[in-house]
Chain A
């Protein structure tokens, strides 16, 4: 599928993606509203790059990832993969693309079949691909994959419960690599791991990207993790993109008040920096999407909110250098 890709076409381009869930009640499931889990999200990624999506729970980051794989059928918008709109395709047409887009899940415990050995979990991919493979060939391939993710091939005869969290996450990566994907959607792949193991997995992700020209969508709530792996970062709040920028810009020039408060809320490890800096802590909690605020969704908690903010929703505007912000009162400091 990657034959006729021009240099400048992004591998993935998401335009005005919308995912609305109906809100129903009662015995007859009468619909009384919609929950806008993802509303008007647009971004693009070039081949070999990583796009990070960050935000707090319920911000729609996972839903966005799932729409890209068509696990959820999006309500509206377009998703171009190699220039073709995958949302318009029939299920059959899309099945060809399924191998090119893979997903790695957050929970390495829940996403592996406990009754299958490691070997057969990965083998499944080759059995299901419609081509005939010799048993020996499959074995070689699986072993090579295990080595790629730095697992010993002897582990192939073990079961998932015999492995540690880090090993299981490596296995999840191996499985997603089995059909040579172009794009991997990684949904919180390191958040359940310990610090020392987390660093190993992050480095593995980076190395694999270099070797195989992989493109990642990296979904996480940990800004520090996303920043270290991503090239471009999308910050989401209640289903909308509030800021999109180069990963280097994130810590140096955050512009949206929400991004700023996120950065401020995370305690940094460096002792001197942490004890000297001033923090602004947001009041209140993330509002429910069922009763979403009017205008800018963030205005209820925003320290800079004006009257305008509660009436009109700001659009994502380019402020130069590939930095997009959705805010009326951009404060530069």
Chain B
């Protein structure tokens, strides 16, 4: 972890999450949704957090802005350093954190249908964010709103301001969410499964747009997704999460061309690929993700791991260690080379 912590002094650093732990206390016991997760995002960087449902990828992002419902959820420990300030030391409803939410860090949620309020026009919702954070008059906020709708490629933005969400298609709603997210020129945009609900051609349009805007505004972007294609196209670095922990991290190139963790290798083998020859069989990862209550001490991927050794069965869950160059980290005792892929 020492290598990651060094980045604090680095002027390039924007967000740094250290040893974040988030649990949900349910009737059945403590669910360790995020367990000792550390990552960082530099300025103007596009980072992806990849994992399957229930791996804690969304919770890890919501915790940054303290959007975890409590109870049952609770941030148990860790630090979220954003521009040098620890966001977790503020109360979840304090002025300080509210000044960050939507203004410095904004989030684009998966469901464009449910994250917009059906009884207000798009303009109202857009201006709401602008007026809260920028302290401007109504007509000025309207102007900024129109500009940000135009920035997301909406034709006739003046008219669209008066639309209700239900009058728009999925792609347009997602554009509105992007417009809301970038209206205050956030430094960090977190896109949680931004295109899952969209059709393929709209998905491509929305992603290209998002990336263009992020570049133009010199913001950083965290893409939370399960779609490895999306990651391959847009991300610079990847964190692979499984059962609340990061199992592997590194540059996109390293992770996709020379993955070291059995889980990453398994994921890559189980994705149907358009570009590969048709007759290659998929190799699924056997079994299913563990129940997050009463997790074993041993490696969390052990029950599904085809390479498991005696050491894996005895020792605790392995810590991330650096392999190769380029900050490639892997939480595995084994040295699994490229030849297995």
A, B in one complex: yes
Whether, in the assembled complex, A127 has its beta carbon less than 8 Å from a beta carbon of chain B, the answer is: no
A200 / chain B contacts, CB cutoff of 8 Å: 284, 286
A197 touches B268 (CB 8 A): no
Q: How far is the CA of A268 from the CA of B172 in the complex (A)?
A: 24
Interface string of B285-299 (1 = CB under 8 A from A): 110110000000000
- Given the known inter-chain contacts A194-B52, A194-B53, A203-B284, please indicate yes or no for A57 contacting B233, CB distance below 8 A: no
Q: How far is the CA of A231 from the CA of B252 in the complex (A)?
A: 33
A262 touches B228 (CB 8 A): no
Whether, in the assembled complex, B69 has its beta carbon less than 8 Å from a beta carbon of chain A, the answer is: no
- Given the known inter-chain contacts A265-B200, A265-B203, please indicate yes or no for A195 contacting B229, CB distance below 8 A: no
Q: How far is the CA of A262 from the CA of B227 in the complex (A)?
A: 16
Residue of A nearest to B274 (CB): A224
Kindly identify, within residues 223 to 243 of chain A, every residue whose CB is under 8 Å from any CB belonging to chain B. 223-225, 227-228
Report which of A274, A279, A286 forms a contact with B204, defined as CB distance below 8 A. Answer: A279
- Given the known inter-chain contacts A196-B270, A251-B274, A285-B169, please indicate yes or no for A203 contacting B282, CB distance below 8 A: yes
Interface string of A194-225 (1 = CB under 8 A from B): 11111110110000000000000000011111
Interface string of B153-173 (1 = CB under 8 A from A): 000000000000000010110
Report which of A56, A164, A195, A273 forms a contact with B270, defined as CB distance below 8 A. Answer: A195
Kindly identify, within residues 83 to 113 of chain B, every residue whose CB is under 8 Å from any CB belonging to chain A. none
Residue of B nearest to A270 (CB): B275
Interface size class of B (residues with CB under 8 A): 35 or more
How many residues of A are counted as interface, with CB atoms below 8 angstroms from the partner's CB atoms?
Answer: 44
For the complex, would chain A's binding face be called helix, strand, loop or mixed by DSSP majority? helix
A221 touches B232 (CB 8 A): no
B257 touches A271 (CB 8 A): yes
Interface string of B132-150 (1 = CB under 8 A from A): 0000000000000000000
Interface string of B191-235 (1 = CB under 8 A from A): 000000001111111001000000000000000001111101110
A261 touches B201 (CB 8 A): yes
Whether, in the assembled complex, A312 has its beta carbon less than 8 Å from a beta carbon of chain B, the answer is: no
B234 / chain A contacts, CB cutoff of 8 Å: 267
Kindly identify, within residues 263 to 288 of chain B, every residue whose CB is under 8 Å from any CB belonging to chain A. 266-276, 278, 281-286, 288
Whether, in the assembled complex, B8 has its beta carbon less than 8 Å from a beta carbon of chain A, the answer is: no
Whether, in the assembled complex, B253 has its beta carbon less than 8 Å from a beta carbon of chain A, the answer is: yes
Q: How far is the CB of A247 from chain B (nearest CB, A)?
A: 6
Whether, in the assembled complex, A329 has its beta carbon less than 8 Å from a beta carbon of chain B, the answer is: no
Q: How far is the CB of A284 from chain B (nearest CB, A)?
A: 9
Whether, in the assembled complex, B319 has its beta carbon less than 8 Å from a beta carbon of chain A, the answer is: no
Whether, in the assembled complex, B256 has its beta carbon less than 8 Å from a beta carbon of chain A, the answer is: yes
B232 touches A266 (CB 8 A): no
Whether, in the assembled complex, A166 has its beta carbon less than 8 Å from a beta carbon of chain B, the answer is: yes
Whether, in the assembled complex, A292 has its beta carbon less than 8 Å from a beta carbon of chain B, the answer is: no
A281 / chain B contacts, CB cutoff of 8 Å: 201, 204-205, 208
Q: How far is the CA of A116 from the CA of B199 in the complex (A)?
A: 35
Q: How far is the CA of A195 from the CA of B276 in the complex (A)?
A: 17
B227 / chain A contacts, CB cutoff of 8 Å: 267
A248 touches B278 (CB 8 A): yes
A227 touches B201 (CB 8 A): no
A285 / chain B contacts, CB cutoff of 8 Å: 169, 171-172, 202
B273 / chain A contacts, CB cutoff of 8 Å: 224, 268-270
A7 / chain B contacts, CB cutoff of 8 Å: none
A261 / chain B contacts, CB cutoff of 8 Å: 201
A272 touches B257 (CB 8 A): yes
Greatest chain B CB density within 10 A among A196, A197, A225 is at A196
B203 / chain A contacts, CB cutoff of 8 Å: 265
- Given the known inter-chain contacts A203-B282, A270-B232, please indicate yes or no for A228 contacting B199, CB distance below 8 A: no
Q: How far is the CB of B108 from chain A (nearest CB, A)?
A: 18
A202 touches B282 (CB 8 A): yes
Q: How far is the CA of A222 from the CA of B256 in the complex (A)?
A: 21
B285 touches A196 (CB 8 A): yes
A263 touches B171 (CB 8 A): no
A269 / chain B contacts, CB cutoff of 8 Å: 228-229, 232, 256, 268, 271, 273, 275
Whether, in the assembled complex, A289 has its beta carbon less than 8 Å from a beta carbon of chain B, the answer is: no
Whether, in the assembled complex, A144 has its beta carbon less than 8 Å from a beta carbon of chain B, the answer is: no
A221 touches B200 (CB 8 A): yes
B266 touches A196 (CB 8 A): yes
B272 / chain A contacts, CB cutoff of 8 Å: 198-199, 202, 222, 224-225, 227-228
Report which of A196, A199, A264, A273 forms a contact with B275, defined as CB distance below 8 A. Answer: A273
Whether, in the assembled complex, A35 has its beta carbon less than 8 Å from a beta carbon of chain B, the answer is: no
Q: How far is the CA of A202 from the CA of B226 in the complex (A)?
A: 18
Greatest chain B CB density within 10 A among A203, A271, A279 is at A271
Q: How far is the CB of A189 from chain B (nearest CB, A)?
A: 13
A166 / chain B contacts, CB cutoff of 8 Å: 288
Greatest chain B CB density within 10 A among A195, A223, A225, A264 is at A195
Q: How far is the CB of B192 from chain A (nearest CB, A)?
A: 16
Q: How far is the CB of A73 from chain B (nearest CB, A)?
A: 28
A286 touches B52 (CB 8 A): no
Q: How far is the CA of A222 from the CA of B229 in the complex (A)?
A: 12
B233 / chain A contacts, CB cutoff of 8 Å: 267, 274-275
A194 / chain B contacts, CB cutoff of 8 Å: 52-53, 226, 289
Given contacts A194-B289, A195-B271, 17 further A-B contacts (CB under 8 A): A195-B270, A196-B270, A199-B271, A199-B285, A202-B272, A203-B281, A203-B282, A228-B278, A265-B201, A266-B229, A269-B256, A269-B268, A270-B273, A271-B252, A271-B253, A285-B202, A286-B201
Task: Give 18 A-B contacts (CB < 8 Å), ordered by A residue.
Answer: A164-B288, A194-B53, A196-B267, A221-B199, A223-B274, A224-B274, A225-B272, A227-B278, A265-B204, A266-B200, A269-B228, A269-B268, A269-B271, A270-B232, A271-B256, A279-B204, A281-B201, A281-B208
Sorted nearest first, the 3 A-B pairs with minimum C-beta distance are: A199-B270, A199-B284, A267-B229
Q: Which residues of A come within 8 Å of B, CB atoms?
A: 56-57, 164, 166, 194-200, 202-203, 221-225, 227-228, 247-248, 251, 261-275, 279, 281-283, 285-286
Q: Which residues of B come within 8 Å of A, CB atoms?
A: 52-53, 169, 171-172, 199-205, 208, 226-230, 232-234, 252-253, 256-257, 266-276, 278, 281-286, 288-289
